[in-house]
Structure 1
Amino acid sequence: MTDQQNDQNGPDQTIDQYAMQDPTKMYADKKPDEQYLEGSGTDAEMAENVPADHGEDTYRGAGRLTGRKALITGGDSGIGAAVAIAYAREGADVAIGYLPEEQEDADRIIGLIEAAGAKAVAIPGDITSLEFCEQLVATAVEQLGGLDILVNNAGKQQNIDSITDISDDEFDETFKTNVYATFRITKAAVPHMPAGSTIINTTSIQAYAPSPNLVHYAATKATVNNLAKGLAAQLAPKGIRVNAVAPGPIWTPLQPAGGQAPDALPSVGEETFLGRWGQPAELAPAYVFLASGESSFVVGETLHVNGGMPTP
């Protein structure tokens, strides 16, 4: 390894999606301490401590999605924000759905989409509502002039150690956010999607290796994963490809907002082969690949981006 490569991979390394870098040393400056964010959490709050990397300063597009029209749920922060930035820089117009209380995050991502020369559409609302799920798709189709990429990404995760402490309301809201919304939004979107369109569900390592403190969340992600595979078979004859991405531990607002216990945050990621948290920017290329024509023969696939966590 050269001195230059060592410099690039140290604590102050410059991340470059196209450069050869030591993945065990990347993001050495982004190890969180104990913290807790109220509500759903925001990237704006995380930036006060350890900000996540969404590829704002690093993602370079190559026209892989020129002319495409994408809707991303949870597109204001975390993985969804990284995907929104990447899609815009690849040439797609992008609509993002998000909770109204996350407006600050959404405004920032809308600005980055527009800075890439793409059209940006902001659609605030709560995806646990059937009415909003239908409105979300209708607005995206109207404002974008069509729809050919759907990313079902928004999610709810709360760590609870015992099943006896999971309330019916908590269980219900988790399924409404992660499963019902995916079903409802996809159902509303499919009639608008021409042949060549793609649908990508965000599942999780939890669908394959559930943690004992995330049993209800893990159950939703297994459902979302299975839904993608069943829909892939159903929609492939129409020329619509359905796939999924299964992240491992990724540093997003979902984690300090109850997704993990505050005292666990400093050590999460150590169980991966790379021994660290992943960053949203490291997920974006997977979503670009699955949305682009480069993956034309990839159908019903779950693409694991988890730092090396074995899956069945």
Structure 2
Amino acid sequence: MNPPANPSSDPSPDNGRRETENPVTKHPRPKLPDQEQAHPGWTGPMDPPPDHGEDSYRGSGLLEGLSAVVTGGDSGIGRAVCLAFAREGADVLLTHLPEEEKEAAETSRLVEEAGRRAVAVSCDIREEEQCRALVERAVSEFGRINILVNNAAYQMSQPDGIGSITTEQFDRVMKTNLYGMFWLSKMALPHIPEGGSIINSSSVQAYKPSPHLLDYAMTKSAIVAFTQGLAQMVASRGVRVNAVAPGPVWTPLIPATMPDTTEFGKQAPLGRPAQPAEMAPAYVFLASPQASYITAEIVNATGGTPLP
């Protein structure tokens, strides 16, 4: 199946030049409709609907012939990354939780519509053996893993403070955000060839923690340290390790874990949350040969919030 024609903007009738867009007004701004979902959240009920780049992302062959594993690829940033990788020429194995099967099917459809292979795998990355089986499945499907994107994450807002963070929640946050990343990186590395890369999803929370996301922020800071340390460890092998640190992004995790969505993203200097489509190009760049001298770096995509 041939990839579809890439969307393009109509040129100006007088000079053929494309007009630039104001990032402040490009996507919806607060006040957003108040909404709530059960965890893990689903894309369909969200108002406004997230933009994953379905009608806007144009590929140029940057990842032609490569294979990628993307955890949490069913929705949000993960779906946008899968879509972008596919339109750049990569086959994609994506993970999802059992209750996210329909979400994963939509991501798979977008990948296949771009003419690439999609493999959706139900996987709880809190379990070491499931991580091992995931890597084995990817190698069985593709023969190697050129790109590993550790994107799956869990958070739950606790406005009442540390006293409300149960041990059960703490364990879930740590195991999802850190254990899974550690196991998958360790297990995938023997199958990542020279020129391959690992990309981790950190967050603005790593540097500017919100009190109500204390445990989540802890893990995102740890991801920065893991990224920079592992990058130095594997540099001589020709494998690069980087991270993306998004600011507020409009994904199903927000109405599923935050008590109030109306003002979400207002704190960013651009005055709004990002859409998942605005994160995907950073992952594409870090995965591509154009980033061959970039490793141990954190790409901050925060809507203008200054970070160290």
**Pairwise same-fold verdict (TM > 0.5):** yes
Give the 5 Å matches for 1:165-204. 165-204=164-203
Q: What is the deviation of 1:143?
A: 0.9
Give the paired residue count: 291
Unmatched 5+ stretches in structure 2: 1-8, 10-17
Kindly tell me: are residues 102 and 26 of structure 1, through their superposed partners in 2, closer, same or farther at Cα, counting changes over 3 Å?
same
Please tell me the residue identity of whatever aligns with 1:183. Answer: F
Distance 1:233 1:190 in 2: 14
Please tell me the residue identity of whatever aligns with 1:106. Answer: A
Q: Tell me if the contact between 1:95 and 1:144 (Cα under 8 Å) persists in the aligned partners.
A: no
- Residue by residue over 1:22-45, the C-alpha shift from the partner in whole angstroms, topping out at 9 and shown as x without a partner, is 001111378532111102111123
Instruction: Find out whether 1:92 has 2:90 as its counterpart.
Output: yes
Q: Tell me if the contact between 2:96 and 2:121 (Cα under 8 Å) persists in the aligned partners.
A: yes
Please tell me the residue identity of whatever aligns with 1:218. Answer: A
Instruction: Find out whether 1:227 has 2:221 as its counterpart.
Output: no
- Residue by residue over 1:229-257, the C-alpha shift from the partner in whole angstroms, topping out at 9 and shown as x without a partner, is 00000011100000000000000011111
Q: What is the deviation of 1:291?
A: 0.1
Instruction: Find out whether 1:125 has 2:123 as its counterpart.
Output: yes
Identify the residue that residue 36 of structure 2 maps to in structure 1: 36
Instruction: Find out whether 1:213 has 2:212 as its counterpart.
Output: yes
Unmatched 5+ stretches in structure 1: 1-7, 9-17
Q: Tell me if the contact between 2:207 and 2:307 (Cα under 8 Å) persists in the aligned partners.
A: yes
Superposition TM-score, scaled by structure 1 size:
0.91
Q: What is the deviation of 1:127?
A: 1.1
Q: Tell me if the contact between 2:69 and 2:147 (Cα under 8 Å) persists in the aligned partners.
A: yes
Kindly tell me: are residues 119 and 174 of structure 1, through their superposed partners in 2, closer, same or farther at Cα, counting changes over 3 Å?
same
Identify the residue that residue 51 of structure 2 maps to in structure 1: 53
Distance 2:197 2:239 in 1: 6
Identify the residue that residue 242 of structure 2 maps to in structure 1: 243
Q: Tell me if the contact between 1:31 and 1:50 (Cα under 8 Å) persists in the aligned partners.
A: no
**Which 10-residue stretch deviates more, 35-44 or 81-90?**
35-44
Distance 1:145 1:204 in 2: 31
Please tell me the residue identity of whatever aligns with 2:37. Answer: L
Identify the residue that residue 281 of structure 2 maps to in structure 1: 285
Give the 5 Å matches for 1:107-146. 107-146=105-144
Q: Tell me if the contact between 1:65 and 1:90 (Cα under 8 Å) persists in the aligned partners.
A: yes
SS in structure 2 at match of 1:213: helix
SS in structure 2 at match of 1:297: coil
Please tell me the residue identity of whatever aligns with 1:122. Answer: A
Identify the residue that residue 15 of structure 1 maps to in structure 2: none
Q: Tell me if the contact between 2:248 and 2:274 (Cα under 8 Å) persists in the aligned partners.
A: yes
Q: What is the deviation of 1:222?
A: 0.6
Superposition TM-score, scaled by structure 2 size:
0.92
Distance 1:151 1:20 in 2: 30
Distance 1:29 1:249 in 2: 12
Q: Which runs of 4+ in 1 moved over 6 A?
A: none
Identity, % of aligned positions? 47
Distance 1:106 1:72 in 2: 11
Please tell me the residue identity of whatever aligns with 1:285. Answer: P
Aligned-pair Cα RMSD in Å: 1.3
Kindly tell me: are residues 87 and 30 of structure 1, through their superposed partners in 2, closer, same or farther at Cα, counting changes over 3 Å?
farther
Q: Tell me if the contact between 2:30 and 2:264 (Cα under 8 Å) persists in the aligned partners.
A: no
Please tell me the residue identity of whatever aligns with 1:248. Answer: G
Identify the residue that residue 272 of structure 2 maps to in structure 1: 276
**Which structure has the higher relative contact order (CA within 8 Å, separation 6+)?**
2
- Residue by residue over 1:132-186, the C-alpha shift from the partner in whole angstroms, topping out at 9 and shown as x without a partner, is 1111111111112211100000000111121011111110110000000000111
Please tell me the residue identity of whatever aligns with 1:310. Answer: P
SS in structure 2 at match of 1:34: coil
Kindly tell me: are residues 19 and 169 of structure 1, through their superposed partners in 2, closer, same or farther at Cα, counting changes over 3 Å?
farther
Identify the residue that residue 152 of structure 1 maps to in structure 2: 150
